[in-house]
Each structure stands twice: as structure tokens, then as C-alpha cells.
Structure 1
């Protein structure tokens, strides 16, 4: 089944290292149907993106009037990438922003953000710690650590490009990802198109497959998919 994506309006507040990394990642995929707006009170943080994104604003995001003047409530999601973000988040909640994603620097900070009304919380430091633990506990994870992310309780999601000629032009059902490799194929990206595959879906060379499964199984299926 093909996924038809509508254009989504995303706003990133705070273009320090973390916010800039998010913006750069979104800009890497030109087929993601996302329009990006950036807000920072320091113009120098915005200058590197002035010709890359749809709009940039120099504003103090802790000021509700400044956010309202930008019609911040019209965005599909607002990412608050600053670490000192309580006042910013409070202003966004008061305005009625539909989805707020905010950075937390500690568990206490995360709890406060939840109480205020944040939909999703990101902790870069905690995620980095989890990744290091995965690498130490699973040696085979190291080679693919940039493409795999932990979900919970030993389960990970990962994406890999198919190059193994033995599975090209074969149905997912016949390859046996679930029965032999104990992973599920959740998404296939082919060029600019994305698909939610069933067992009859035929794999092509260069397809980008997203798997979910236990760490060991996902790393093994990565090796299987990339055999020459």
C-alpha cells in the first residue's frame, strides 16, 4: 500500500547544536514533504539556513505575542530544541499549538514538561547513553549503529538498503524475514515513494527496508540484506 503524504509544516525553536542537527537531518531528505520554519533570537544561528528552509524568524520565543504574530498555532508540530525551555513551552501551550516536541536535560525536567502539556520529550544525553550501552552489550551493533535505534526492552528499529541479489525480485513472504530472521518489515522506501508492505510485496534492488526486531536479529538481517 502506498503512503500519500500531505505537506507538513514544522517549526524548530532554537538553532544551537541540537536544533541545527534536527534541521540538517530534515533537509537531507528532500522527499519528506516538510516545510521548515526556524526561530531563534540570535540571527547568527539562523544565517546558515537562510537559503535552505522556507522561513526564518528572529524572535524571543518566550514572548507569547512574538509567537502569536508568527501564527505558531498553524504548524503541524513545533520542536523546542533549547534546554531552558519551560517558558517557551508554556507559551506554546497557552496559544494552543497542536503538537509540541521538547528537549529535556534531566528526568525532573522531563516530568515538568509533561505536566505542562508537551506531547513528546527528547533527551539527547539519555539517548546517547542508551546507544553506548547497546554497542558495548552487542558487538555486532557497532557496524550498523548509525542506522539502528532502540525502541524499548531490547527491541530496535533499523533501515538498510537492499543489495543482496538473492532476495531481489522476491516476495517478502518467500524471503522469510519474519519466520527465518524473526524481524518484521514495517516500511519500504523506493525512490520518492513509501509503502507499507504485505507478504506479496516484491523487493527490488536499492529498496530501503525498515525493520523492527530484537537487536541481534536486526543486525543479522542487515548483513543478510547487504550481501553481494
Structure 2
């Protein structure tokens, strides 16, 4: 992965987590918050961290914010500040602005003022937990769209010892195996003659409804 420059505005739990993961992946990360304590706490997890008011256009200009490929706005409970920050960032020419929304209405306003991507952390985590509770064999998933997911599903005991060809998941369940996780190793695009072992985790792609049916076997 090539190194890119990210700025994270708002260093609460969510913003700090995003910054830390990007930094761990070898990316350049600038952390910005109006509270000095939060900036100090984030220092070990970012390339640079500064105290600044993101609703002050001059402050953002002085840190060279327009040079960052992506800016994540993760301001906590202050909707007005998050909206104004997004507006200023787009006016300054930032190409990609990702903004955290506290509600559907907040998200709509953020979109109208120019945010490229809106995220709803609490809603998304709630949906993820509900899905995992309803499908106990599903270990993790990525929502590709409203209909399609990529999911990690523990191999059903009835399929242990059988090959991908024998099970014929595509024909019977309308889903495809794109990888198998076995003892911390990953088998990418397994062959039709790959025999499944107990404890295998299948990385599968398909319609969410079809994957749910399979995970409940």
C-alpha cells in the first residue's frame, strides 16, 4: 500500500481509533482537535497532532489541509461544528471528506454541504451486532451494498470432509467461496477439489439473504 496523507478532525474514541489504524498501516496521519488533552492522548497514534478549531478557515489553511488526500471529520456531539467544518474543507478544495453523522438528518445536511461519504458508527455497529446474533456461525462480514455481503462463516459440520465440487454451493445456495481460512493460513480461490476440514472458515460472497440461510445450517 502506498503512503497517503490523512487528517482526522475530532480525536474522540472513534477518531482516535481511525487515526491509530491508519498510522499502524504506515500512513501519514495528522490529528486535529480543539481540546489539548485529546491531542496529547492521540500523540502516540498519529504522525502529528495539533490543537486547532476546525471551524476557523485560517487555522485549517495554516496546517495545509488542502494537501491531504482524505480528511475524516469525526467531531463528537457538536453538529454545527461538524457541518461547518465539512463546508470549509470542501471550499478549500479537499478532494475527499468523510464525515461521521450522529443521525439521519445530520447525515443529510453533511451530504448537502459537500461530504463525499457519510458514516453512522452507532447504527452500523448496532446492525453488525444484530446480524451476528441472528447468524451465530457468521464470524464477520462486510456490507458491499444493500443486497450483497462478504461474510466469514464457520464450515457446517455436515460439510466437513467434502469438497467444494461435492457441495456445489453456487448451484444450491447461490453463493461463492472466495477464500478459506485454515489454521491462520488463507487459501485464495480454492480449487473445486479442495476438501474442507473441521474448523475451516469460509470467506463467501453473495446476497445477504442467501448467506444468512447458509450460516444457519
1:154 positional shift: 4.6
Partner of residue 115, structure 1: 112
Distance between the aligned counterparts of 1:133 and 1:61, measured in 2? 35
Tell which structure's C-alpha radius of gyration is larger. Answer: 2
* Structure 2 residue corresponding to 1:14, chosen from 5, 10, 17: 10
* Structure 2 residue corresponding to 1:94, chosen from 79, 84, 91: 91
RMSD: 4.0
CA offsets 1:165-199 (integer angstroms, 9 cap, x no match)? 979xx9x999977557644466899xxxxxxx778
- Name the TM-score, length of structure 1 as normaliser: 0.67
2:44 aligned counterpart, secondary structure: coil
Count of equivalent residues? 202
The runs of 5 or more residues in structure 1 that have no matched partner are 190-196, 224-228
Contact 1:173 1:199 in 2 (8 A): no
Once the two structures are overlaid, the 10-residue window that deviates more, 40-49 or 178-187, is 178-187
Distance between the aligned counterparts of 1:35 and 1:161, measured in 2? 36
Q: Which structure 1 residue ranges, 4+ long, deviate > 3 Å from structure 2?
A: 24-27, 142-145, 149-154, 158-162, 172-189, 197-200, 208-211, 214-223
Choose between structure 1 and 2 for higher RCO, CA contacts under 8 A separated by at least 6 residues.
1
1:58 positional shift: 1.0
2:11 aligned counterpart, secondary structure: coil
- Name the TM-score, length of structure 2 as normaliser: 0.70
Contact 2:178 2:189 in 1 (8 A): no
